[in-house]
């Protein structure tokens, strides 16, 4: 389930993915991934993207409790190629990240 809202007259935002609260604009190149909320998980994903010159433009993490499952929404400046996404899948705790393009 995805829920959104409109702030003002022209600021759409995604505010919920399943039971997780998030807050990000529905635009551009995004990676959405369920993961285990553990130290280093987000850092490893960022390191993989940075090593491939893929810049993170924004990020939001929604969780219901520390150390449980969480959702990561990453906005990036360019597409994430399939081989990079496959490498991200190997990060401990990641659960099938998906790339979404909203233009």
Whether 5 and 20 have beta carbons less than 8 Å apart is answered as no
Q: What is the pLDDT of residue 48?
A: 98
What's the angle, vertex CA 78, arms to CA 91 and CA 101, rounded to 5? Answer: 85
- Give me the mean pLDDT over the 24-50 stretch: 97
Q: What is the pLDDT of residue 103?
A: 84
State which H helix or E strand residue 87 sits in: helix 82-89
Nearest of 43, 32, 40 to residue 2 by alpha carbon: 32
Q: Tell me how far apart the alpha carbons of residues 103 and 99 are, in angstroms, rounded to a whole number.
A: 13
pLDDT higher than 90, residue 60 = yes
Using pLDDT thresholds of 50, 70 and 90, give the confidence band for residue 41.
very high
- Residue 68, helix vs strand vs coil: coil
Beta strands in the chain (DSSP E): 2-7, 11-17, 20-24, 28-36, 56-63, 69-76, 94-102
Whether 71 and 32 have beta carbons less than 8 Å apart is answered as yes
Q: Quote the pTM value.
A: 0.91
Q: Which domains does the chain carry? A: 27-102 (3.30.70.260)
């Amino acid at each position: 389930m995805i829920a959104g809202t409109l702030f003002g007259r022209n600021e759409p935002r995604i505010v919920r993915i399943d039971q997780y609260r998030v807050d990000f604009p529905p635009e551009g190149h995004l990676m959405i991934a369920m993961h285990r909320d553990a130290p280093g998980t987000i850092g490893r994903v960022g390191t993989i993207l940075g090593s491939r010159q893929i810049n993170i433009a924004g990020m939001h993490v929604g969780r219901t409790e520390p150390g449980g499952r969480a959702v990561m929404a990453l906005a990036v400046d360019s597409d994430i190629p399939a081989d990079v996404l496959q490498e991200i899948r190997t990060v401990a705790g990641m659960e099938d990240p998906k790339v979404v393009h909203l233009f």
